[in-house]
Amino acid sequence: MKIFVIVDTLNQSEVNEYLLEEVLFLRTQDIDVRFITLGKEDPNNTLYSENRFTKESFMTVPYRHWWNIQDWKNFKLFMVNEQPNLVITCGNKADFFGRLVAWETKVSKIFVFAHDVFEIAQRKKHFYDGFLSRITDRYIVCSDEAKNKLLSNGIPNNKITLLYDGIVFQKYGQPISTKIRQQVGLLPDDFAFICATSLTPESGVDVLLRAFARVVGGKLIIFGDGPERKSLGALSIRLELSERVIFLSTFDDIPGLLSSSNAMICPSKKGEFSPSIIHGLLSGLPVIATDSPEVRELVKDNENGIIVRRQDSENLAEAINHVMFDRSLYETLKGNTKNNLAKFSLSSHAAKLLSLAQKK
Q: Could you report the per-residue pLDDT of 260-302, keeping only the tens digit for each?
A: 999 999 999 987 777 789 999 999 999 999 998 878 888 999 9
Asked whether the predicted pLDDT for residue 235 surpasses 80, the reply is yes
Q: Domain 169-342 has what CATH class?
A: alpha beta
Q: Is pLDDT above 90 for 10?
A: no
Whether the CB-CB separation of 29 and 350 falls below 8 Å is answered with yes
Residue 318 confidence (pLDDT) above 70: yes
How much of the chain is helix, strand and coil, in % rounded to 5? 45, 20, 40
C-alpha span between 36 and 7 (Å, rounded): 6
Contact status, residue 345 vs residue 167, Cβ threshold 8 Å: yes
Q: For residue 118, is pLDDT > 60?
A: no
**Model pTM score:** 0.72
Average pLDDT of the segment spanning 210-235: 96
Q: Is the pLDDT of residue 157 over 90?
A: yes
277, 298 contact by CB (below 8 A): yes
Is residue 326 predicted with pLDDT exceeding 60? yes
Q: Which pLDDT belongs to residue 116?
A: 57
Q: What mean pLDDT is predicted for residues 244-261? A: 94
CA–CA distance, 47 with 12 (Å, rounded to integer): 6
Centre a 10 Å sphere on the Cβ of residue 50 and count the other Cβ atoms it contains.
11
Provide mean pLDDT across the span 1-15. 78
pLDDT reading at 122 higher than 70: no
CATH homologous superfamily of 2-166+345-358 equals Glycogen Phosphorylase B; (3.40.50.2000)
Strand partners, 221: 194, 246
What pLDDT sits at residue 304? 97
Comma-separated ranges of CATH 3.40.50.2000 domains in the chain? 2-166+345-358, 169-342
Percent of the chain with pLDDT over 90: 51
Reported confidence tier of residue 127, pLDDT bands at 50, 70, 90: low
Least confident interval from 38-47, 62-71, 121-130, 305-314: 121-130
Going from the C-alpha of 234 to that of each of 98, 209, 238, the distances in angstroms are 43, 11, 6
Q: What is the pLDDT of residue 120?
A: 37
- Reading phi first (left if > 0) and then psi (alpha if -120 to 50, else beta), residue 216 is in beta
Distance CA 299, CA 281 (A): 9
Report the mean per-residue pLDDT for the chain. Answer: 86
pLDDT of residue 121: 37
pLDDT score of 129 more than 90: no
Q: Rounded mean pLDDT of 180-206?
A: 95
Percent pLDDT > 70 in the chain is 88
Is the per-residue pLDDT at 322 higher than 90?
Answer: yes
Asked if residues 310 and 204 have their Cβ atoms less than 8 Å apart, the reply is yes
Of residues 57 and 255, more confidence is placed in 255
With cut-offs at 50, 70 and 90, classify the pLDDT of residue 123. Answer: very low
Average pLDDT over residues 168-186: 91
Beta bridge partners of 17: none
- Pick from 156-165, 242-251, 299-308, 315-324: least confident: 156-165
Average the pLDDT over each of 257-261, 296-300, 341-345, 354-358 and give the range with the smallest value: 341-345
d(CA 56, CA 31): 12
What pLDDT does 41 receive?
59
